[in-house]
Structure 1
């Protein structure tokens, strides 16, 4: 399982490139992809992202998902949403976005 939101959050928080992270992952080791949202906090030390699965998938994570699909090929994709659960229509919209990327 490859959690694209986790990659994005970790890369932002630790100041490294997601493309470098993805470059070392063998596509044969990835059986499915997970997408989720995150929370952004602004602290005196700077911005931090929290991988809490409580929001819509961000535009940046959608962009990284496109890059991931190009490298890994189409993989089953799950939208994770663990807290602040929205209406079903919001979840279905996010799932449809993932389907559209897979079908592109």
Structure 2
């Protein structure tokens, strides 16, 4: 039996890469969070946006399913929009706030 003298992080990375290429990329993923929002009651809508963001983070952390895969150090199931789109948390901004944020800076 051959002894592998490579650092453990290289071995772990190789195992994750192999799983991604041979399993994960060929398996339909159930995304979490696409329709999640904290804007379901009027009292929450009256809170400042910073409080609503904190509530959205709390909601995400309490409700996001946890999936622990072999050899990974970071676990969870990301939202589909969190992949390079910066939408890690459920909706917390009011429509008028979203529109205001879209306007170019003067």
Larger gyration radius, structure 1 or structure 2: 2
TM-score scaled by structure 1? 0.27
More strand by proportion, 1 or 2? 1
TM-score scaled by structure 2? 0.27
